[in-house]
Amino acid sequence: MAASVEYNRQVSAHPWPTNAQPKAAFDLFSSSSAGNGGRRRSGADSDSDDEDGIPPDWRSLYSPRLDVEPSVKDPRDEATSDAWVKRHPALVRLTGKHPFNSEPPLPRLMSHGFITPVPLHYVRNHGAVPRADWSTWTVEVTGLVKRPVKLTMEELVTGFQAVEFPVTLVCAGNRRKEQNMVRQSSGFNWGPGAISTTVWRGVRLRDVLRRCGVMGAGVASNVCFEGAEDLPGGGGCKYGTSLRRSVAMDPARDVILAYMQNGEPLAPDHGFPVRVIVPGFIGGRMVKWLKRIVVACNESESYYHYRDNRVLPSHVDAELANAEAWWYKPECMINELNINSVITTPGHDEVLPINALTTQKPYTMKGYAYSGGGRKVTRVEVTLDGGETWQVCELEHPERPTKYGKYWCWCFWSVDVEVLDLLGAKEMAVRAWDEALNTQPERLIWNLMGMMNNCWFRVKINVCRPHKGEIGLVFDHPTQPGNQSGGWMARQKHIETSETTQGTLKRSTSTPFMSAASAQFTMSEVIQAVLRDQPDDTTEMHLVYANRTEDDMLLREEIDRWAAAHPARLKVWYVVSKVARPGDAWEYGVGRVDEQVLREHLPLGGDGETLALVCGPPAMLECTVRPGLEKMGYDLDKDCLVF
């Protein structure tokens, strides 16, 4: 079974003269223009097989939701060379006015499902969009071929068998803003929306090269592509790059010269009238506005082939990259996409109210995942405890694999989590695996170009009060694309060191503590500071220490030793979610910290002399601890310090 559809029919030329969109949808392969009565059939290299009953129309296969508002001429483009290009107003601009680089808002992208409407497809331009004329446009095939040729668009469409299948395009800079929050790279702020999936129609590159008599692999090692735009890089050049001949000629790779997208001619921003599509590769290898194909023994000599789309070691900055010629090291070149996944639900700043209704049913997390080289995403997992435990997600693969078993598109994942588990969590994270058992690293790996960022995608969970008297959880994505504010990484970049609480302890005669593993070192410092004080100090400390199991309680030996040495000044009660070793005697609490635990093991407040120092997961503090302390007489503004 496969996802592509092939055609072999004589097709009339486009009825539009330039790269302006036609007023109405036009099917290049309508039966009225075909010489074979409209019958679709498979060729020798077909990825489709009509005998298997695969519907020939991708609309019936994928049921796309493509309705969007019309694109318009943007006033921001008026003073640029792109003033004539129509663009969708929802796209988030990433590089100011010009050149145009943009991504769709993540919620909007996901709302359309598997197939992305072309107006919402992300855009990566290096310069002005070339004006093109279908009737005069040619693609030159030259170099190490026996029969060089300049193909018109009509010859390209009518002279070769056409194929059509969905492909996910991803910019190598997807999620770059996360890297820029750690250290500024040389690139602009892509969010997680530099990804889109559309249905591409075109002709196989290998068919074109074979028609031209491509020379043997021992001589012709590379296939170079050159676009039409005039760019400043390297003192002035065209955008160009290359593929290894083995990739270009491999029937399993499905490399095509595409001239239609989602059943329409290519939009100006996406390469009208023809572009290269290399499934499973980064978008930077898919040259738009294609003008020349050169078969050669060496790679492309374009400035952009060497000075773009590289992952250099983390220690290499711009000066070192130039001094040591890192740009020209082949091992740093990016071709295939890496494994990646993103959380899309909950969305950024989404609020989940906590009430009797929401806590009775699970919350569904969702997102997308993809890999490169046609490798299938085989597993996606989420964690609510920093990677200690993982929950396996349900996967949805809308595409069918090619006859070579390749997967060229993103997939979607979902998983139900208990709201009470969210209440006890500080963050959620996701990672994906592919069929080669590639997975995502836990930590971000910075590189000069800010490319191929695929660390765990983390969403922070904070407590809020959406309405008076109501508690809610608000979800915080790492960044927002472009120059938009928001995201926990942006805030973290500007966090200042918190004030020490040591100077506030003198007014307390009894100090209750709440602690979680993330704050145990602050807790221990406070305990030691009080115990080291003057000999006549009678400050009492009541510690309630909660964690998952007794094995997770770091510093427990030290705490027990301090309590044994100062039994009148330090009283300790442990609470675990479950006992790790049931055979051992456990004389402390099991379950959750609640008001009863607080009343049994902490002194009452309200005497003006008792201070509560509280640390732990925000949801637990806001939903359990602070309300419980308030009922016990603590003034939460004066007698409760959260750190």
Three-class SS state of 492: helix
176 in Cβ contact with 189 (< 8 Å)? yes
Half-sphere exposure of 170 (CA within 13 A, CB side): 33
Hey, what are 28's tokens? 């290049």
Cis peptide bond prior to 22, omega within 30° of 0: no
Spatial distance between the Cα atoms of 142 and 144, rounded to a whole number of angstroms: 7
292-296 and 222-226 strand pairing: antiparallel
**Choice among 19, 47, 125, 171 that is catalytic:** 171
Examine the residue annotation and report whether 308 is marked as an active-site residue of this protein: yes
In the set 74, 308, 434, 639, the catalytic residue is 308
- Tokens in use for 628? 């419980």
C-beta of residue 354 within 8 angstroms of C-beta of residue 423: yes
Residue of 101, 309, 335, 338 marked catalytic: 309
Give the CA distances from residue 45 to residues 8, 42, 253, in Å, rounded to whole numbers and listed in that order: 12, 8, 11
State the helix-helix crossing angle for 556-565 and 520-531, rounded to 10 degrees.
Answer: 20
Cβ(121)–Cβ(106) below 8 Å: no
Does the active-site annotation cover 309? yes
Cα 54 to Cα 41: distance, rounded to the nearest angstrom: 12
Long-range CB contact pairs, 629-633, < 8 A, 24+: 629/512, 629/598, 629/602, 629/605, 631/595, 632/598, 632/599, 632/602, 632/604, 632/605, 632/606, 633/604, 633/605, 633/606, 633/607
- Phi first, then psi: what are they for 47, rounded to 5°? -100, 15
Single-letter code of the amino acid located at 192: P
> Which H, E and C letters describe 355-371, residue by residue?
CCCHHHCCEEEEEEEEC
Terminal CA-to-CA distance of the chain, rounded, Å? Answer: 57
Long-range contact pairs involving 531-539 (C-beta distance under 8 Å, separation at least 24): 531/562, 531/566, 531/569, 531/570, 538/509, 538/569, 539/505, 539/508, 539/509, 539/510, 539/511, 539/569
The residues annotated with a catalytic role in the active site are: 171, 308-309
